[in-house]
Copies of this chain bind each other. A is one copy, B any other.
Amino acid sequence: MAHQNAALDSVFHALADPTRRAVIQRLGRGSATISELAQPFEMALPSFMKHIGVLERSRLIVSKKTGRVRTCLLNRDRLIAAERWFGKQHALWGSRYSNLDGLLAKLNGVENEG
């Protein structure tokens, strides 16, 4: 459980950045070298590599160096594991809530009763 929590911490942390999400999205189309991944971003390479490091530590991506070229791959299973957390929440909700507006109306009702 603690292990699973740490995994979710690192995956959600990695996803909390638009550059990193764009890298994930790009790698969904197939493997890419660091140069290819960095190309769309107006960012110094050391800054970009920090993002790659966060993604690798979260195990959302893996990379492999061949000669002087580092190629990155998406670890799709890791992303699916994080997505599963949302599914678990749905299962807990059941049909309890329909929407926030309904909830707020209910809360206002409770307040008016009190």
Q: CB-nearest residue of chain B relative to A1?
A: B18
Q: Which residue of B lies closest to A93 (CB)?
A: B28
A92–B62 contact, CB under 8 A? no
Q: Which parts of A64-114 form the interface with B (CB within 8 Å)?
A: 64, 66-67, 71, 73-77, 79-80, 82-83, 85-86, 88-89, 92-93, 96-97, 99-100, 103-104, 107, 110-111, 114
Cβ of B16 and Cβ of A73 under 8 Å apart?
A: no
The answer to whether A114 and B29 have CB atoms under 8 Å apart is no
Given contacts A25-B89, A75-B100, A96-B29, contact A16 B13 (CB under 8 A): yes
Q: Interface SS of chain A: helix, strand, loop or mixed?
A: helix
Say whether A97 contacts B71, CB under 8 Å.
no
Q: Are A17 and B9 in contact (CB under 8 A)?
A: yes
Interface positions, chain A 9-63, Cβ under 8 Å from B, are 9-10, 12-13, 15-18, 21, 24-25, 28-31, 62
15 A-B pairs besides A5-B18, A73-B100, A73-B103 with CB distance below 8 A are A8-B16, A10-B16, A12-B15, A12-B16, A15-B85, A16-B16, A24-B89, A25-B89, A28-B89, A62-B100, A62-B104, A66-B114, A76-B100, A77-B99, A77-B100
